[in-house]
Amino acid sequence: MSTATVTEPPHLQPATDDVRLRVRGLRAAFSAAGGRREVVSGVSFDLLAGQCVAIVGESGSGKSVTARSLVGLVGRGGEVHAETLELYGRDTRRFRARDWRRLRGRHIGFVLQDALVSLDPLRPVRVEIGEALRVHGWGDRASRSRRVIELLTRVGVPLPHTRARQRPGQLSGGLRQRALIASAIALDPGIVIADEPTTALDVTVQAQVLAELESMKQRGASILLISHDLSVVAQLADHILVMQQGRVLEQGPAAVVLGSPSHDYTRALIAAVPGEHTRGRPLSPGSAPRQTERRAARGTDPVLEAAGLVKRFTGPDGSVTTAVRDVSFTLAPGETLGIVGESGSGKSTTARLVLGLERLDAGTVRLLGEPWSALPERRRRALRPRITVVYQDPLSSFDPRWTVERILLDALPREDRTSASTRRARLLELLALVDLDPELLGRFPLRLSGGQRQRVSIARALAPRPSVVVLDEAVSALDVTIQAQILDLLARLQHTTGVSYLFISHDLGVISHVSDRILVMKDGAVVEQGTPRTIFGSPQHPYTQQLIASIPEFDPASLTGAPLENPDPLPRPIDADADGRAVSSIRPRPATEVLS
Amino acid sequence: MTRTSFADAGTSAETEASPATAPTSFGRARSRAVARQIVRKAGSALVVLWGAATVAFFAQLALPGDRATVILNIRAGQAQLRTPAELAPIRAAFGLERPLIVQYLDYLRGLITGDFGNSYQQFRPVTAIIGEQLGATIALSLTAILFAWLLMVVWVTLTAGRGPRLTAFGSLTDVVVAGLPAYWLGILLLLVFALGLRWFPVLGGSGPEGLVLPALTLAIPLAGFMSQSTRAEFERALEQPFVLTARMRGMGDWGVRISHVLRHAALPAITLSGWALGATISGAVIVESIFSRPGIGSVLVAAVNAQDLPVVTGIVTLVAVFYVVVNLLVDVVHTLVDPRLVQS
């Protein structure tokens, strides 16, 4: 057993050139039933003091396995090889379990996504944070509990004494993510690995967490950031690695990789990020350009009218919460109305009310000028095919034992079912509409990729030739390049079929890309509505202003000053930034500003 | 707790804006929720007890034959037809001539005041007969549950989530052990540890050393049974992100298993324990007869054979009380282990 101890790294020092982590030729493989499968093939980089290195990639790119192999936790059946793997100058390839345990927590902190499941849900956060100290024998009980409070204060948790006694489930998303960060930095590790630290967080919370990571970096910590989200990476990273299928396609200083990427995949990734500057043009390289005159055929009578919608829920303790309060809007033919809001804002409940899946407490919904919410379900059925829905997770909205053919067949209206040949023709037409191979008809949903599933789900929604499709977070769970393809597809379908979209999302970039008009919801009420230009250009309501200010600024063209090779990005309005500052900086605003 | 989801929404500004009020109003809501839960639980417990007592009462009536004749025959120790004159004093003594509803209400009143009536056979109050045997049975049941937990926790912590071979061996053992018949296991234990190794007395005895083998006989199949559900939960918990977080903090495998995973995995076993405590009382009959121990089990068997219905009714009601009390305890322990349950 090795008795050598890890040399104490210099903490809290300004950035110097010392290499805290040196990785050369890192490979990781898993042995599965089908043999050995390599998921990381030759990753090399250095992490310097006070530096942030980011690994960007989509699901399956091997970025998380890379991060875990750096701390010796790739999981069961995993094998790691490297030419060099040095932490603070020590070769970790010959580490025993005990050496790793000494290192983890003390010299490397790890932040996973979603603290609701990444902290033990049964214990108060002070026990979780204190555990990081206790495991390494730091201090006694009293000094540990003082330290926990100190850490919570440092990561900006208000009322640390109260919050420390609460469990993760009792804290809001932002507070518990900060508690998770506090547990990772309890012993001031020189390296912090953050694996998708802001995924699944609301945009304002994301801004707080990013500001916290930024201030850690300024205090001298080295950060390895793992993310699928380029706009998050652009905020923090000094150096970026782009990974796909276990390989590093490109790496270099952040400004170079984002500003003048040399690999096609990087360019596709950057172009796929939706936002206001991408309005009216395709996000995906293969897609045909969108025509701007698509709204020519628009009529004047709204297809959907919601007036004064109210929905209340009674909790188990008898308390009444108003999930939707006095929401009104109209949707014109061929129009896309975006509803944006954070979790709990009532946007999905609004969708369910519009779909007639939830009883209204007040207000009316009219569909195609006819009563809709006032009707009993039996009489609503005739109109049901006129309004359909696409959900975030298509897999759970499919019967897993049905093939694609049966799923689509089930959605066909009566007039398309007259004979086997008309049915078949309509199915093939639907598949062609969403660019799917007819071969997939015999497949089960489980054997489709995420993008294919969402296409099937869109085909199903279009099968009855609806006037309105409700898209409830329909692209939120997809990788960015797949999301780009689906968004392009939706734009094209709207152009060809003239369908109206009620597009619900928490993602401001997506909303600003697709919407003709936008409703901003908070606590069940619409706080502001308008065109993307007015909402993003001159937000009036303080909440909208806060929301817009929280969007990670991502405008690749501004990174180096050199224009991106991508065709004619529309110029961003000069007043796009709520604070009236230029939109060219990749630096996040100071922590205090965001947290205040 | 629908409030937190709303707090999530507003950048946590809401929670931070009203710092002083949040925890107290939260505490009040919590204690109200707890109080409501207790009232509901106690109400349903009373319904269960009333149901059990009622079923036991009407089961007596459903038995073939005239009750007075049965009572007289039990006392006389011979089965024959009796004349009305012979039966009259019995009818009067047990109030059998009154309307059924009156007898039923009288019976319920007796239960509430703790009067279970007199044994037909022994001419003594049922409460006295049960009281003599109850201690031994409760000691046996509780010891069995304790042993089962010890065996289960050690076995699952050692073998769960340890790679394919050890895991398969662990769960195979669970299944085999859970299926062991108590009489066979009891005799085996008796042969090996009492007769062979002479570690424990052959005949029950009243001391703690006499309790070990009977309790193990009940505990071993129970441990296998509880292991099956605990193991599934244990392996699920091992894959959770918070376990990864704990490992990332430098916690070792044993630390993770004992201080994080076990607590999550114990929940289904706690639920099972409520059921098991009742089951060990019924299952005690076999063990008591193998090890010649006193206990409720043998009294129940004797009473059923002799059609000594007040004793049977008393024991059935008692077991129901037991179930109810234990399940209330299980609920309390459950909320201690998983505090999230209080909110929902």
User: Which of A108, A119, A136 has the CB atom closest to B245's CB atom?
Assistant: A119
pLDDT in tens, B192-242: 887 788 777 766 566 777 788 888 888 999 999 999 989 999 998 988 888
- Contact flag A523-B10 (C-beta cutoff 8 Å): yes
Distance from the Cα of B341 to chain A's closest Cα (Å) equals: 10
Q: What domains can you pick out in chain B, each with its CATH number?
A: 132-343 (1.10.3720.10)
pLDDT in tens, B156-186: 999 888 878 888 898 899 999 988 888 888 8
Report if residue A478 sits inside a domain: yes
Interhelix angle B209-238/B262-290, nearest 10 degrees = 150
Report if residue A162 sits inside a domain: no
> What is the full per-residue pLDDT of chain A (596 aa) written as tens digits?
344 444 444 443 444 458 899 999 999 988 877 778 888 998 999 999 889 999 998 887 888 889 989 888 887 778 888 898 888 888 888 888 888 888 898 899 998 877 778 899 889 999 999 998 998 888 889 999 999 999 998 888 888 888 888 888 888 777 888 899 899 988 889 899 998 888 777 888 888 888 888 988 888 899 999 988 888 888 889 999 999 988 999 999 988 888 888 888 888 888 888 877 777 777 877 665 554 444 444 557 889 999 999 998 876 666 788 889 999 999 999 899 999 988 778 888 899 999 988 888 999 999 988 888 888 888 888 888 999 999 888 788 888 889 999 999 999 988 888 888 889 999 999 999 898 888 888 888 888 888 888 999 999 999 999 999 999 988 888 888 888 889 999 999 998 888 999 999 988 888 989 999 999 999 889 999 999 888 888 889 999 988 888 887 776 655 543 333 433 333 333 333 333 333 333 333 333 333 33
Chain B residue numbers touching A174 (CB-CB < 8 A): 11-12
Q: What part of A 140-179 touches B (C-beta under 8 Å)?
A: 158-159, 162, 167, 169-175
- Rounded to whole angstroms, how far apart are CA atoms A449 and B143? 54
Q: What part of B 82-141 touches A (C-beta under 8 Å)?
A: none
pLDDT of residue B27: 58
Interhelix angle A125-135/A173-184, nearest 10 degrees = 10
The CATH number given to whatever domain includes residue A489 is 3.40.50.300
Q: Are A309 and A363 a contacting pair, CB within 8 Å?
A: yes
Q: Quick check: helix, strand or coil at residue B89?
A: helix
Chain B residue numbers touching A105 (CB-CB < 8 A): 248-251
Buried/exposed A47-83: b ≥16 CB within 10 Å, e otherwise: bbbbbbbbbbbbeebbbbbbbbbbbbbbeeebebebe
- Contact flag B241-A159 (C-beta cutoff 8 Å): no
pLDDT in tens, B249-291: 888 888 889 888 999 999 889 988 888 887 787 777 788 888 8
Interhelix angle B209-238/B126-159, nearest 10 degrees = 50
Quickly list H helices, B77-125: 84-94, 100-112
Per residue, what are the HEC states of B188-223?
HHHHHHHHHCCCCCCCCCCCCHHHHHHHHHHHHHHH
Chain A residue numbers touching B10 (CB-CB < 8 A): 342, 344, 522-523
User: Which of B8, B259, B343 has the CB atom closest to A343's CB atom?
Assistant: B8
Q: Is A253 on the interface with B (CB under 8 A)?
A: no
Q: What part of A 537-576 touches B (C-beta under 8 Å)?
A: 546
State the residue for tokens 């490979």. Answer: A27
- Backbone CA torsion sign across A539, A540, A541, A542: positive
Report if residue A21 sits inside a domain: no
Q: Is B24 on the interface with A (CB under 8 A)?
A: no
Chain A residue numbers touching B9 (CB-CB < 8 A): 202, 341-345, 522-523
User: Which of A158, A173, A183 has the CB atom closest to B16's CB atom?
Assistant: A158
Distance from the Cα of B137 to chain A's closest Cα (Å) equals: 35
AA letter at A234: A
User: Which of B2, B10, B253 has the CB atom closest to A315's CB atom?
Assistant: B2
pLDDT in tens, B92-149: 777 777 888 888 888 888 888 877 777 777 778 888 888 888 888 888 888 899 999 9
Q: Quick check: helix, strand or coil at residue A418?
A: coil
Q: Enter the ipTM.
A: 0.72
- Rounded to whole angstroms, how far apart are CA atoms A455 and A67? 32
Range(s) of the domain holding residue A408 = 334-359+379-522
Q: Is B33 on the interface with A (CB under 8 A)?
A: yes
Report if residue A512 sits inside a domain: yes
Q: Which uninterrupted H or E stretch holds B225?
A: helix B209-238
- Backbone CA torsion sign across A244, A248, A251, A254: positive
Q: Is B6 on the interface with A (CB under 8 A)?
A: yes
Q: Quick check: helix, strand or coil at residue A101?
A: helix
Nearest-by-CA chain B residue for A105: B249
- Rounded to whole angstroms, how far apart are CA atoms B123 and B61? 21
Which residues does A588 contact at the CB level (< 8 Å), separation at least 6?
A: A207, A210, A211, A214, A235, A236, A552, A594
- Rounded to whole angstroms, how far apart are CA atoms A116 and A204? 17
- Rounded to whole angstroms, how far apart are CA atoms A593 and B293? 76
- Rounded to whole angstroms, how far apart are CA atoms A187 and B85? 92
Report if residue A564 sits inside a domain: no
AA letter at A555: D
Report if residue A417 sits inside a domain: yes
- Rounded to whole angstroms, how far apart are CA atoms A67 and A74? 8
Q: How many CB atoms lie within 10 A of CB A375?
A: 16
pLDDT of residue A14: 40
Tokens encoding B263 = 């607590």
pLDDT of residue B8: 36
- Rounded to whole angstroms, how far apart are CA atoms A199 and A64? 13
- Indicate which of A65, A102, A170, A183 best probes the interface with B, i.e. most B CBs within 10 Å of its own CB: A170
Report if residue A139 sits inside a domain: no
Domain count of chain A? 1
